[in-house]
Amino acid sequence: MHAAQYEVHNNVAVITFNNPPVNGLSFALRQAIVQFLEQTNADDAITAIVLTGSERAFSGGADVREFGTPLAFEEPILKTVIARVEDNPKPVVAAIDGVCLGGGFELALGAHYRLASSGARVGLPEVNLGIIPGAGGTQRLPRVIGVDRALPIILNAQMVAAPSLADTDLFVQVVEDDVVKAAIAFAQRLKQADTQAVRVRDLPIAPKQAEALLTQQLQYVKQYERHLPAKAAAVRAILGGVQEGFEKGLTNERAIFLELLESRQSIALRYVFGSERAAARVPEIERSTPVRPVKWVGVYGQSDRAHALQQAFNAAGLGVTTVTRPEQFDGHLNDCDLLIEAVGGDDQAEVETALSALAQVAKQGAILATASDFSLSALSAKLSHPADLLRLQPGPSALAGSLWELGRSTVTDPEVLATVLGLARRAGRHPVVALPDSAAVGPQLLQVYLQLARLLQASGIDLNTIDACLVDFGFSAGPFATARALGVCMAPSLGDEQINDLPSLDAVPELFMVALANHGAKLIDQGLVGRALDIDMLCVLGYGVGRFIGGPLHYCQQLGYEQVAAVLAQAEQRWGQDNPLWQPAQGLAELIKQS
């Protein structure tokens, strides 16, 4: 398969990107664009060029399949391709449909003219990966739409509908019909009108107004976005271009981009970007796996999990019936396509009774789910149709995550899991799928978080200090604030004794991350979780660990296993060998030995 296609329409060459699913700017596509530009320039019959993608995507930016590989930096790199487009002797028109993001948007900004369909959306989401646009985005976008409108697109990773920018110099047209056809017609008129190509780099910026706005914005992001240094770096890059001109600004932007690429935040954010997608993939589930129709959901319970699920399904546009008593089942839940037990608590017998009662009123083909922590093998043994059962457990709403932890038994029907995975996407949730027959994993990690906090409190560290320290590090909420929100008692256990050798406050976050990683590694050893990334995504998506940290096992890998061993040894000296928090997991111990 060729990475791009080349066609001629009268005197206009059309270069169509062909790198599904979103025309990522792979080495092969970058190479093809340059080669086709050379071909058009050598043909005197060609007067203009149109660059375009598909209805789904002009280009989604960098090809994620090349992240971390030499091909990502193989010439022609994107910066080179854009320079060839911008300096091309024949005018280049970008015809934009679908999404046009990141490097794809930077490429379009390098064209001399841009047309967009009314359904097109543009954006520069690089800050979500801990970097800034590295191929001119911070220099060209402010010049074409103004600094005030460019800032939120760059700093907030906004995806903007093309019609909302139709009043700027970004687009010469926003069309309702075929954007490629419109671009070809526009390109043909350029020769007739003898129009000189417009380079975005040559557009002016009002320096005084821009400098004042950027200086103010820089102070804000430094104060309130310090965990995401890419935001301050992006403002500095724009400011540099305003003060020193386009060429120096472009050089400065590239230097900042390369520096951020090696930062711990960017490494963590890129890891999370790939891992949250990998966590939702299950080997048994293919695109062709059938799914069951779900239009109406029944939820039994008044727990935090029940409310979270109700809100998520409402957001997905599904009908939801919530009941709080078993006598309401018959007559209220008979027509539901998905029935969920979410009573809460730690009484397995109560959960078994609730599931059995729900199964009795369920229509044929309905999916049955539990939001409880218990092993599905024990729960499904009580059901006449165990293949219809799975776990559907949201993360604690107090931690404002997007997690759905999904569990299955060895007999759960693949179409049941495929159906709920699809519902997660509709609801804007991020699923993590545990290995078959495991108990819920996320609540175990939460207990480690709370248990260590109780130890530190009993040892003499003020609970507010612990919370502040961890929030400052990057947790969405400290353990004591989390416990209050969940109604959990945080009184120290009877065996917790005060010690004299307290860890410094600077060492407290590291202590928590190592404890979480160690327990996560034990869950992998026990066959409850398949991969380190599953542990990390549970923590990041549902249990309050900042995306820019990357999860506890990723954090420990970056920290170095020698330091991990030292943290465990120091904790063991403080609190004793009997505490399982500090007994190294087998897999982690092996990594420590190899370090």
- Say what angle helices 508-525 and 463-473 make with each other, to 10 degrees: 80
Give, as one character, the DSSP assignment of residue 284: T
Q: Residue 409, Cβ neighbours under 10 Å: how many?
A: 21
Helix/strand/coil (H/E/C) assignment for every residue in 308-372:
HHHHHHHHCCCEEEEECCHHHHHHHCCCCCEEEECCCCCCHHHHHHHHHHHHHHCCCCCEEEECC
Nearest-angstrom CA–CA distance, 43 and 165: 35
Go through the chain and tell me how many residues it has.
Answer: 595
Strands (E), 197-314: 296-300
Label residue 488 exposed, middle or buried (CB < 10 Å: 0-12, 13-18, 19+).
middle
Task: Classify 65 as helix, strand or coil.
Answer: helix
Q: Residue 76, Cβ neighbours under 10 Å: how many?
A: 16
Task: Classify 179 as helix, strand or coil.
Answer: helix
Closest CA to 114 of 140, 75, 79, 151: 140
Q: Enumerate the active-site residues.
A: 62, 103, 106, 126
Q: What is the edge-to-edge ordering of all strands in the sheet holding 430-433?
A: 319-323, 296-300, 338-341, 367-370, 389-394, 403-408, 430-433
Task: Classify 436 as helix, strand or coil.
Answer: coil
Reading the block at residue 12, the tokens are 């206009």
Nearest-angstrom CA–CA distance, 448 and 518: 10
Instruction: Give CA torsion, residues 222, 223, 226, 232, to 10 deg.
Output: -20
- b vs e for 205-218, b when ≥16 Cβ sit within 10 Å of the residue's Cβ? beeeebeebbeebb
Task: Classify 96 as helix, strand or coil.
Answer: strand
